[in-house]
Amino acid sequence: MMDWHLQGADWPNRASSRFVKVDGFPWHVQRMGAGPVLVLAHGTGAATHSFRDLMPELARHFTVVAPDLPGHAFTGAPASYRMRLQDMADMFTDLLRALGVSPVLVAGHSAGAAILARMVLDGGIAPTALIALNGALLPIPGMPGQIFSGIAKMLAMVPAVPWLFSWHAGDRGNVARTIAGTGSTLDAAGLDYYGRLLSDPGHVGNVLGMMANWDLEGLQLDLPSFPARLVLVAADGDKAVPTKVSRKVQALVPGATLLMQEGLGHLSHEEAPAQTAALIVEIARSMGIL
């Protein structure tokens, strides 16, 4: 877990942060705004900083709640076996119950969308809709997926690997190239926040543990019976989760809607927060939430 007083001294939206323990497990949560409750979930390797500009926009219409996911940034790290999709979904559900939060709308970026989808399917939350922002809702198909999973497991088992990764990430040029590889372009502040995360061995180690234990096959099987509205927001320049993934999910889930963002990459909500917030508000209004 990163040091809040050191690495979080100028964390985005810091005044909205609080720390809570659920069954002894420490969470960093941000909450702001008023109105219907909207819960946000960031993607693998990110943190609440990912919503630094999106949250204030949404807080004009919603009570917005966003945690650092388990093992990420300022939230504690569970045992590696509890970094599976099901376990993270269960822990997130327990957090919302402890906070007394019942969201009417949820939005998740990348792997965060998968966690929220699992929570909805399990009945842990019952929102009107899930908005998947470049959602990573399907397993990587075929041999590439098997190779990826095997490599992640191998790396997670080597104690020195997180230190090597974090040392490599100390070069901000490497951070910029990593972000560019997703199809996105961030400003200096955005790159700095990712640099802090990727320079922390604990954060990196937990991300590797999550990747090593990630399994979306069960989610894929359950998606056709998704009980809420599913809105897929896909950026046409996303190199991490190509738009074809969202199209496959749309075909899999009855009634799913696909909206496109042009000229943006995987981190489209960071590149164009006002545009993304306007989309979310429009969706909420179309469903009578606002």
CATH, residue 219 = 3.40.50.1820
CA 203 vs CA 3, 71, 131, 214: distances in Å:
11, 6, 26, 16
70 is a domain residue: yes
> Which pLDDT belongs to residue 170?
56
Least trusted range by pLDDT, from 75-84, 147-156, 257-266 = 147-156
> Which pLDDT belongs to residue 155?
38
Q: 């990764």: which residue's tokens? A: 165
CA distance 82 to 2: 19
Res. 154: pLDDT tops 70: no
CA 175 vs CA 59, 106, 172, 190: distances in Å:
30, 29, 5, 10
159 is a domain residue: no
Structural domain tally of the chain? 1
113 is a domain residue: yes
117 is a domain residue: yes
More confidently predicted of 11 and 80: 11
CA distance 212 to 28: 23
106 is a domain residue: yes
CA distance 78 to 72: 10
pLDDT category at 168 given cuts 50, 70, 90 is low
146 is a domain residue: no
- Provide CB contacts within 8 A for 152, sequence distance 6+: 208, 211, 212, 214
pTM over 0.95: no
Q: Are 253 and 223 in contact (CB under 8 A)?
A: yes
* Domain range enclosing 80: 14-140+215-286
88 is a domain residue: yes
Res. 162: pLDDT tops 60: no
Percent of the chain with pLDDT over 90: 74
| Residue 126 CA from chain centroid, whole number | 19
Q: How much is the mean pLDDT over the chain?
A: 89
Q: Which of 264, 267, 261, 262 is nearest to 280 (CA)?
A: 261
Q: Is 234 helix (H, G, I), strand (E, B) or coil?
A: strand
Res. 36: pLDDT tops 50: yes
90 is a domain residue: yes
